Amino acid sequence: MYKNVMVAVSLFIFTSPSWGLELSDYRLVDLTHPYNEDTIYWPTSPSSFELTELSFGETPGGWFYSAYAVCTPEHGGTHLDAPIHFSASGSAVHAMPLEDLIAPAVLIDVSAEASVDPDYRLTVEDVLEFEARNGTIESGTIVLLRTGWSDRWPDTEAYLGDDTPGDVTQLSFPAYGEEAAQLLVEQRGVVLLGVDTASIDHGASRDFTVHRIATARNIGALENLTGLEGLPPTGFTVFALPMMIEGGSGAPVRAVALVPRD
């Protein structure tokens, strides 16, 4: 119910002439790493980002023209995991509801804990302490987890804990814990889990439990986010619109937060 009301209100604000969105009332916070030769991919990815020049320069007609071909695996850089990534019955990228991709959001900050323990996992206690300060996380919310790891980008070894191609046995970085994910997904009814590391499962995970908990409820993930230090705990909206890949298990995403100015 809450989600439907929020979508209806958002559509009204964007479309009503008398209630047009005044962007000067908001800060726009880019949560996206650019794609380039330094973009970090999962170690087992067979390829990385490629930008091939097709044309660049003056044309015979006398005007300038440039064009490129782009090639990238789905799961690298700032990207969306669609539910089908870990659930055979989950939605693919093109089928994810817009109200799951444009929604009110909260930020849980565990950067202090992660600075001490690089394999730190968000706990139920962390979530309950956050709610004690900020109110219960509402159904239809996007949850973002700040670990501080985006400061390590694009140093692959520092970011992933290991930079050996094809080897995932030595990865080390923080993320969500199993019980906290269950609370957020099954009891709070959140619509996306986001994090500023390479995965919503911690680096040492071998069973990807958090992915499986989320996708079992048809919930996707935002990974390799950045700029989370510019967000308040509550009161902002996230726009996370992926490349519209039909049947895709994931896609590059431009994620932006709309934060009311004080």
Cα–Cα distance for residue pair 4/99, rounded to 1 Å: 8
CATH of the domain at 202: 3.50.30.50
Over 50: is that where the pLDDT of 28 sits? yes
Over 70: is that where the pLDDT of 194 sits? yes
CA atoms within 13 A on the CB side of 215: 25
Q: Is 11 a domain residue?
A: no
- Give the single-character DSSP code of 197: S
Segment 208-235, tens digit of pLDDT: 999 999 999 999 999 999 999 999 999 9
The residue with tokens 């323990």 is 117
Q: Is 227 a domain residue?
A: yes
Cα–Cα distance for residue pair 184/47, rounded to 1 Å: 34
Q: Is 215 a domain residue?
A: yes
**pLDDT tier, 8 (very low <50, low <70, confident <90, very high otherwise):** very low
Q: Is 19 a domain residue?
A: no
Q: Is 14 a domain residue?
A: no
Q: How many Cβ atoms sit within 10 Å of the Cβ of residue 73?
A: 18
* Residue 74: domain span: 25-260
Q: Is 16 a domain residue?
A: no
* pLDDT (0 to 100) of residue 19: 56
- Give the single-character DSSP code of 219: -
The residue with tokens 């089928």 is 95
**pLDDT tier, 10 (very low <50, low <70, confident <90, very high otherwise):** low
* pLDDT (0 to 100) of residue 222: 98
- 170 burial (CB, 10 Å; 0-12 / 13-18 / 19+) is middle
Query: What is this structure's pTM?
Result: 0.91
Q: Is 8 a domain residue?
A: no
258 contacts 236 by C-beta, under 8 angstroms: yes
Q: Is 10 a domain residue?
A: no
CA 123 to chain centre: 19
Over 50: is that where the pLDDT of 149 sits? yes
Segment 36-61, tens digit of pLDDT: 999 999 999 999 999 999 999 999 99
Segment 97-146, tens digit of pLDDT: 999 999 999 999 999 999 999 999 999 999 999 999 999 999 999 999 99
Number of domains the chain is built from: 1
